[in-house]
């Protein structure tokens, strides 16, 4: 392959290599730069010196501040020369030096003169240089010239101004936006590239105005687009417009027809851009996809590697979403496996892996093995991921796929690559029971010689969970204990934990584990010794072989059920005292972003007399606030606070939202009120709640707000008693009652002492089942699902009726239950007909609940759902079904 | 250049253009993205681009590869290696057009004698050429003839006196003139 290259090298070795820059040295060149100051300039000499300076910069040499300033000043002298070539080098040099603001002033007048020169080349370059080095203030001075330049008849000048405009838009948008008219005119230019640059700038000026963009685009689709580049740009704008005008748009797509027409353009660049745009449209139908796939298929057999690469890369992406659409290209794809270009071969293979069937797996694997060593890590990761999904698709083939993974695990590779392999093996072990034992052994062998601490600890942890459940756990001990002997402290510590897990789960191994753990007591690292001591005590390592009790098992295997960010906040708030830190006091709720709350806090006025601090987000803050109110202090621990719910329309006189605070036997409504009328002061603000549609609730306390001045949020509370631990639901209607007093808005003084009593109707509040559910995630759903057991599992099926999409159905059920989606299962892939969603949460009373939802969509868009609940209490499992049945 | 990502999904952008020699050393390079902030990062990038592409045969057609979430299109001529880098969601054929434009322009400017010593001898032309192809990531021109003519109009003395050319250059030029006149 590299024949000609080697030959050339041999030739060259004979004649000694000559470079004009041989032995070049910065100091000497800087000395030479003094010729710039000669009264009689020698343009040729000066050009050469500038080239040398540029060469130095290009090689990575840098000038000190002083040197740069000196060079800059002497270069500016060269504007005296009339030599074209020298001037070009001067422009280049100034751009490279990127002078500071005070230096820029020196060249401004020279550059402005060039900007108005008769020589087109001067004008174009002076514009680019000046726009590059200028700041906002100078820009207003030259704006007039730039506007002229945009519509200059010389295309080079116009392009220079337009491209400079694109860059300036980032720093001085308000100025560039004033050039719209000129840019608009330039879009009509006959010069191909001017149109391209003008189109790019115009779109950027208008990109926030959807309507304008849409209009611009549809005008252009009817006009002439002169350069392939501009056409590509137009295609990108069109697909943005299509995307923004609604993803689920059905019926005719006016812009789609244009994209399809572009597939017949004469430039390959445009054909490809259009094909790619079509494949990336969301909700594209197979009929729409076909013409794009057809042109890409033609590209696959092109003689140009770039074209083959572009086509196969795009088809690879299409295969993820629409594998069936790509199967037509399989024959062309197979011939690409032996492509000289390894990148193309990889993409071809992974595409085939996605579209292939069970019988072709073995043949493909053979072909892949041959070329794995030739390709870059990025591509290897792609292959590994494709193989993982293939294995999940065809579990019967796991043996050959697992072998392949373990082979490549042994070869050289970077962290990301190794991580991808390990992750794949872990997933296969989890999902294919037969693959467990062999997979674990492959991982054990890998950590024997693994240079990545992170991967070693991950694998050790995984071994601790899965290893004890295998038929012969003892065979893993050797691998684990080897880590204790050979590795760094981090890995040693996690190996100790893993050993302890084997000890806890496998009674027969206990004595041996104790011996090993005791050896770890003499480790040089604190953490390792601490862990060993801790586990020896937990497992009763004082010699007696006892059955490990549930508590220690929970301690060793239980997952941390509090979100780490909450734990962090709690630890930061904890003040060292006699009372130890209690992990149960950490709120378990995963924080969601309350949007309405932000609005209320933003308007806070400092200095005014507020009875309570404005509400801040987060359970912590609520808890603090509520426990400071004596009436509520006896309610016990706050279980959950809801997100604020608006009880008034926006822009009304009084803005009120409510936060529901749920306790075991009580519920507290916190009404956040804001008075938006400057002429009024509200006093004795209460909310009269009618609980007639909420039979199980009875009002026990109400805390009025003494005064509510203009624009300062305040809170009033109403508390209800409800049956302990029962998820009672109901509807509450609310009336805001207050005494209104007139105020002089300029002074803030009350004009009228006697106020009027007034009522103000608010929206209703519902207490729903989801209010009794905390959104608590689990890190590993499958483990949690198995450990909670099937004792109280309840399964039932529901018909959800016709729905827009699966996504909509999934979201509806999630918000109905108020649970935390796990492992990203709330996202439904486009166009899928079925979906499984995993939810977890904690129900009132602190009971863990896990839900597995399986959705299916039939041809008439009817959604059916199978709901499986596992929890720690039968009643809770039933309640979940009741919630869904009634929702 | 911090704003490089702002116009990401609309405009085709070029992240860098490299011209290296057959040992991976710089002849001329130009970076338009701040993805490689230091000279060390740039050198490391050049080294990995060079080693990853070294064994391939990119002499007849431009070749392409992908790494670090970038697309690299390259072409080798004699002891010169031409590279153009763009983002991984870029249209490969646009980057290819940039590479082709650069290569064509250099070929014209070096009067068909495309090799390292000639390129260094005319480094000013190569640098101007880079300046005319891409401006801070935005493609200015992709037609090699146009690029070369923009650069050539400004060369110090367009028709370098024969005395300053080496004998072999003069011969090459003469041969070229001859073939042209025969063909036309």
CATH number, domain containing residue B19: 3.30.450.60
CB within 8 Å: B138 and A20: no
pLDDT tens digits, A712-733: 888 888 888 888 877 788 888 8
Measured CA to CA in angstroms, residue B102 lies from A131, A269, B32, B78 at distances of 24, 17, 15, 16
- Predicted local distance difference test score (pLDDT) of residue A503: 86
Q: Does any CB of chain A come closer than 8 Å to the CB of residue B163?
A: no
- Predicted local distance difference test score (pLDDT) of residue B180: 63
Measured CA to CA in angstroms, residue A171 lies from A135, A213, A235, A326, A712 at distances of 9, 22, 27, 45, 38
Residues A432, A391: contact at Cβ < 8 Å?
A: yes
- Predicted local distance difference test score (pLDDT) of residue A595: 38
Question: What distance in Å separates the CA atoms of residue A778 and residue A789, rounded to the nearest whole number?
Answer: 15
pLDDT of A846 > 70? The answer is: yes
Q: Which residues in chain B have their CB less than 8 angstroms from residue A342's CB?
A: 65
Measured CA to CA in angstroms, residue A782 lies from A12, A779, A851 at distances of 65, 9, 11
Residues A172, A136: contact at Cβ < 8 Å?
A: yes
Q: Are strands A765-767 and A705-708 parallel, antiparallel or unpaired?
A: unpaired
Architecture category of domain A771-886 in CATH:
2-Layer Sandwich (3.30)
Question: What distance in Å separates the CA atoms of residue A765 and residue A749, rounded to the nearest whole number?
Answer: 35
Question: What distance in Å separates the CA atoms of residue A78 and residue A87, rounded to the nearest whole number?
Answer: 8
Residues A425, A443: contact at Cβ < 8 Å?
A: yes
The pLDDT-based confidence of A542 (bands split at 50, 70, 90) is low
* % of chain A surpassing 70 pLDDT: 91
Residue B16 lies in a domain: yes
* % of chain A surpassing 90 pLDDT: 22
Three-state secondary structure of A4-61: HHHHHHHHHHHCCCCCCCCCCCHHHHHHHHHHHHCCCCCHHHHHHHHHHHHHHHHCCC
The sign of the torsion formed by the CA atoms of A877, A878, A881, A883 equals: negative
Question: What distance in Å separates the CA atoms of residue A521 and residue A513, rounded to the nearest whole number?
Answer: 13
Q: Which residues in chain A have their CB less than 8 angstroms from residue B139's CB?
A: 196, 229
- Predicted local distance difference test score (pLDDT) of residue A164: 93
Please tell me the CATH code under which domain A595-767 is placed.
2.60.40.1480
pLDDT of A598 > 50? The answer is: no
Three-state secondary structure of B162-183: HHHCCHHHHHHHHHHHHHHHHH
pLDDT tens digits, A193-232: 999 999 999 998 988 888 888 888 888 888 888 889 999 9
What phi, psi does A666 have (nearest 5°)? -140, 165
The pLDDT-based confidence of A306 (bands split at 50, 70, 90) is very high
Q: Which residues in chain B have their CB less than 8 angstroms from residue A4's CB?
A: 59
Best to test chain A binding among B127, B145, B148 (most A CBs inside 10 Å): B127
Residues A557, A465: contact at Cβ < 8 Å?
A: yes
Residues A298-326 have a mean pLDDT of: 92
Q: How many domains does chain B have?
A: 1
Residues A647-674 have a mean pLDDT of: 85
**Taking CB atoms and an 8 Å cut-off, how many pairs form between chains A and B?**
176
The residue with greater pLDDT, B107 or A881, is: B107
Residues A282-304 have a mean pLDDT of: 90
Residues A470-498 have a mean pLDDT of: 90
- Predicted local distance difference test score (pLDDT) of residue A54: 94
Q: Which residues in chain A have their CB less than 8 angstroms from residue B136's CB?
A: 132, 167
Which residues, including other chains, have CB under 8 Å from residue A211's CB and lie 6 or more apart?
none
Question: What distance in Å separates the CA atoms of residue A832 and residue A59, rounded to the nearest whole number?
Answer: 54
- Predicted local distance difference test score (pLDDT) of residue A588: 65
Question: What distance in Å separates the CA atoms of residue A715 and residue A744, rounded to the nearest whole number?
Answer: 24
CB atoms within 10 A of CB B113: 17
Q: Which of A619, A680, A631 is closest to A653 using CA atoms? A: A680
- The mean pLDDT of chain B is 83
Q: Which residues in chain B have their CB less than 8 angstroms from residue A60's CB?
A: 26, 39, 42-43
Q: Does any CB of chain A come closer than 8 Å to the CB of residue B29?
A: yes
Q: Does any CB of chain A come closer than 8 Å to the CB of residue B169?
A: no
CB within 8 Å: B136 and A167: yes
Domain boundaries, chain A: 209-284, 359-446, 452-558, 561-588, 595-767, 771-886
- Predicted local distance difference test score (pLDDT) of residue A586: 72
Residue B50 lies in a domain: yes
Q: Does any CB of chain A come closer than 8 Å to the CB of residue B89?
A: no
The pLDDT-based confidence of A545 (bands split at 50, 70, 90) is very low
Residue B168 lies in a domain: no
Q: Does any CB of chain A come closer than 8 Å to the CB of residue B66?
A: yes
Same topology for domains A595-767 and A771-886, yes or no? no
Residues A850, A808: contact at Cβ < 8 Å?
A: no
Burial letters A22-45, b for 16+ CB under 10 A, else e: eeeebeebbeebebbeeeebebee
The residue with greater pLDDT, A585 or A326, is: A326
Highest mean pLDDT pick, A580-584, B57-61, B117-121: B117-121
CB within 8 Å: A85 and B94: no
- Predicted local distance difference test score (pLDDT) of residue B158: 38
The pLDDT-based confidence of A601 (bands split at 50, 70, 90) is very low
pLDDT tens digits, A739-787: 888 888 777 777 777 778 888 888 888 888 888 888 887 777 877 888 8
The first and second tokens of residue B33, run together, are 């993205």
pLDDT of A609 > 50? The answer is: no
Distance from the Cα of B43 to chain A's closest Cα (Å) equals: 9
Nearest CA in chain A to B157: A85
pLDDT tens digits, A417-445: 899 999 999 888 888 888 888 899 999 99
When CB atoms are compared, the residue of B93, B131, B157 closest to A272 is: B93
The pLDDT-based confidence of B108 (bands split at 50, 70, 90) is very high
Measured CA to CA in angstroms, residue A419 lies from A264, A398, A405, A835, B146 at distances of 44, 19, 12, 27, 49
Question: What distance in Å separates the CA atoms of residue A455 and residue A805, rounded to the nearest whole number?
Answer: 40
Residues A449-463 have a mean pLDDT of: 91
Best to test chain A binding among B4, B40, B64, B88 (most A CBs inside 10 Å): B64
The pLDDT-based confidence of A591 (bands split at 50, 70, 90) is low
- Predicted local distance difference test score (pLDDT) of residue A304: 94
Does residue A838 come out as left (phi exceeding 0), alpha (psi in the -120 to 50 range) or beta? beta
- Predicted local distance difference test score (pLDDT) of residue A216: 87
Q: Does any CB of chain A come closer than 8 Å to the CB of residue B121?
A: yes
The residue with greater pLDDT, B73 or A581, is: B73
Block residue for tokens 């794995």: A372
Residue B109 lies in a domain: yes
Q: Which of A224, A164, A168, A223 is closest to A197 using CA atoms? A: A164
Q: Which of A297, A338, A366 is closest to A346 using CA atoms? A: A338
Q: Which residues in chain B have their CB less than 8 angstroms from residue A196's CB?
A: 139
Distance from the Cα of A228 to chain B's closest Cα (Å) equals: 9
Nearest CA in chain B to A3: B57
Quote the ipTM score: 0.84
Q: Name which of A180-194, A260-274, A692-706 the model is least confident about.
A: A692-706
Q: Does any CB of chain A come closer than 8 Å to the CB of residue B39?
A: yes
The pLDDT-based confidence of B3 (bands split at 50, 70, 90) is very low
**C-alpha of A244 from chain center:** 20
CB within 8 Å: B135 and A163: yes
Residues A396, A358: contact at Cβ < 8 Å?
A: yes
Q: Does any CB of chain A come closer than 8 Å to the CB of residue B179?
A: no
Q: Which domain holds residue B37?
A: 2-159
- Predicted local distance difference test score (pLDDT) of residue A780: 75
| DSSP letters spanning A277-304 | HHHHSTT--HHHHHHHHHHHHHHHT-S-
């Amino acid at each position: 392959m590299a024949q000609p290259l080697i030959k050339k090298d041999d030739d060259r070795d004979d004649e000694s290599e000559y470079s004009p820059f041989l032995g070049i040295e910065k100091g000497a060149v800087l000395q030479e730069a003094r010729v710039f100051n000669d009264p009689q300039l020698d343009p040729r000499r000066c050009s050469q010196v500038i080239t040398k300076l540029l060469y130095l910069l290009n090689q990575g040499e840098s000038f000190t501040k002083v040197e740069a300033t000196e060079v800059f000043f002497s270069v500016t002298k060269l504007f005296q020369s009339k030599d074209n070539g020298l001037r070009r080098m001067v422009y280049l040099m100034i751009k490279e030096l990127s002078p500071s603001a005070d230096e820029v002033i020196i060249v401004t007048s020279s550059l402005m003169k060039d900007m108005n020169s008769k020589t087109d080349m001067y004008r174009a370059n002076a514009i680019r240089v000046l726009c590059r080095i200028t700041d906002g203030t100078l820009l207003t001075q030259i704006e007039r010239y730039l506007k002229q330049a945009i519509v200059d008849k010389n295309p080079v000048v116009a392009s220079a101004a337009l491209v400079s405009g694109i860059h300036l838009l980032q720093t001085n948008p308000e100025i560039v936006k004033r050039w719209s008219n000129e840019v608009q005119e330039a879009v009509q230019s006959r010069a191909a590239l001017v149109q391209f640059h003008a189109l790019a700038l115009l779109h950027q000026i208008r990109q926030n105005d959807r309507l304008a963009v849409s209009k611009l685009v549809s005008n252009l689709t009817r006009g002439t687009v002169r350069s392939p580049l501009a056409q590509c740009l137009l295609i990108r704008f069109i697909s943005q417009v299509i995307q923004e005008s609604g993803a689920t748009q059905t019926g005719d797509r006016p812009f789609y027809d244009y994209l399809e027409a572009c597939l017949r353009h004469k430039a390959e660049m445009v054909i490809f851009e259009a094909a790619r745009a079509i494949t990336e449209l969301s909700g594209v139908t197979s009929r729409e996809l076909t013409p794009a796939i057809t042109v890409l298929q033609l590209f696959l057999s092109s003689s140009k590697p770039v074209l083959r690469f572009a086509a196969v890369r795009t088809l690879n992406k299409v295969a993820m979403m629409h594998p069936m659409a790509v199967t037509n290209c399989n024959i062309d794809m197979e011939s690409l496996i032996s492509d000289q270009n390894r990148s193309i071969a990889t993409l071809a293979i992974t595409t085939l892996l996605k579209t292939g069937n069970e019988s072709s797996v073995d043949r493909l694997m053979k072909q892949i093995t041959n070329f794995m060593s030739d390709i870059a890590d990025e591509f290897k990761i792609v292959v590994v991921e494709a193989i993982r999904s293939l294995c999940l698709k065809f579990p019967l083939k796991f043996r050959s796929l697992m072998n392949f993974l373990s082979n490549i695990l042994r070869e050289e590779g970077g962290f990301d690559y190794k991580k991808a392999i390990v992750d794949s093996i872990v997933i296969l072990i989890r999902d294919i029971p037969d693959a467990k034992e062999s997979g674990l052994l492959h991982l054990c062998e890998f950590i024997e010689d693994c240079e990545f601490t992170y991967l070693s600890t991950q694998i050790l942890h995984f071994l601790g969970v899965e290893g004890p459940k295998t038929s012969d756990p003892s065979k893993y001990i050797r691998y684990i204990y080897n880590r204790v002997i050979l590795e760094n402290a981090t890995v040693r510590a996690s190996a100790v934990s893993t050993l302890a897990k084997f000890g806890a789960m496998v009674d027969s191994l206990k004595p041996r584990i104790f011996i090993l753990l005791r050896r770890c007591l003499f480790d040089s690292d604190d953490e390792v010794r601490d862990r060993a001591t801790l586990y020896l005590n937990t497992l009763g390592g004082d010699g007696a072989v006892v059955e490990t009790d549930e508590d220690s098992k929970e301690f060793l295997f239980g997952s941390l059920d509090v979100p780490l960010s909450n734990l962090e906040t709690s630890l930061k708030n904890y003040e060292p005292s006699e009372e130890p830190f209690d992990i149960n006091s950490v709120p378990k709720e995963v924080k969601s972003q309350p949007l309405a709350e932000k609005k209320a806090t933003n308007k806070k006025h400092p200095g005014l007399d507020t009875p309570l601090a404005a509400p801040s987000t987060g359970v912590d803050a609520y808890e603090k606030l509520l426990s400071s109110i004596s009436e509520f202090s006896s309610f016990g621990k706050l279980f959950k606070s809801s997100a604020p719910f608006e009880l008034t329309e926006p822009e009304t006189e009084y803005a009120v939202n409510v936060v529901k605070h749920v306790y075991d036997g009580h519920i507290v409504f916190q009404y956040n009120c804001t008075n938006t009328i400057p002429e009024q002061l509200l006093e004795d603000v209460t909310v009269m709640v009618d609980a007639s549609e909420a039979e199980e609730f009875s009002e026990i306390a109400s805390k009025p707000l003494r005064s509510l001045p203009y624009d300062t949020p305040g809170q009033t509370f109403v508390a209800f008693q409800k049956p302990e631990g029962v998820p009672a639901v109901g509807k509450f209607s609310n009336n805001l009652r207050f005494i209104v007093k007139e105020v002089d808005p300029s002074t803030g003084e009350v004009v009228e002492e006697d106020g009027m009593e007034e009522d103000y109707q608010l929206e209703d509040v519902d207490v729903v089942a989801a209010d009794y559910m905390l959104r608590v995630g689990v890190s590993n759903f499958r483990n949690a699902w198995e450990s909670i057991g099937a004792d109280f599992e309840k399964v039932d099926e529901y018909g959800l009726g016709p729905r827009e999409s699966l996504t909509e159905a999934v979201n509806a059920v999630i918000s109905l239950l108020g649970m935390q989606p796990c492992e990203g299962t709330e996202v439904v892939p486009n166009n899928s007909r079925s979906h499984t969603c995993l939810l977890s949460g904690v129900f009132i009373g602190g009971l863990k609940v896990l839900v597995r939802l399986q959705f299916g969509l039939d041809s008439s868009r009817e959604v059916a759902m199978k709901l499986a609940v596992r929890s720690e209490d039968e009643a809770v499992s039933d309640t979940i079904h009741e919630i869904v049945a009634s929702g | 250049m911090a704003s490089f990502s702002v116009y990401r999904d609309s405009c085709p952008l070029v992240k860098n253009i490299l011209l290296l020699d057959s040992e991976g050393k710089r002849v001329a390079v130009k970076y338009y993205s701040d993805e490689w902030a230091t000279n060390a990062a740039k050198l490391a990038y050049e080294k990995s681009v060079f080693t990853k592409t070294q064994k391939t045969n990119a002499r007849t057609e431009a070749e392409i590869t992908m790494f670090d979430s970038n697309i690299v299109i390259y072409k080798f001529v004699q002891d010169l290696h031409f590279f153009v880098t763009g983002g991984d969601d870029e249209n490969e054929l646009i980057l290819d057009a940039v590479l082709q434009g650069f290569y064509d322009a250099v070929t014209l400017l070096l009067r068909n004698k495309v090799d390292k010593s000639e390129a260094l001898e005319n480094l000013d032309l190569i640098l101007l050429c880079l300046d005319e192809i891409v401006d801070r990531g935005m493609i200015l021109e992709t037609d090699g003839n146009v690029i070369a003519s923009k650069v050539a109009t400004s060369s110090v003395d367009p028709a370098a006196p024969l005395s300053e050319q080496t004998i072999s250059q003069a011969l090459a030029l003469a041969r070229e003139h001859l073939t042209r006149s025969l063909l036309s």
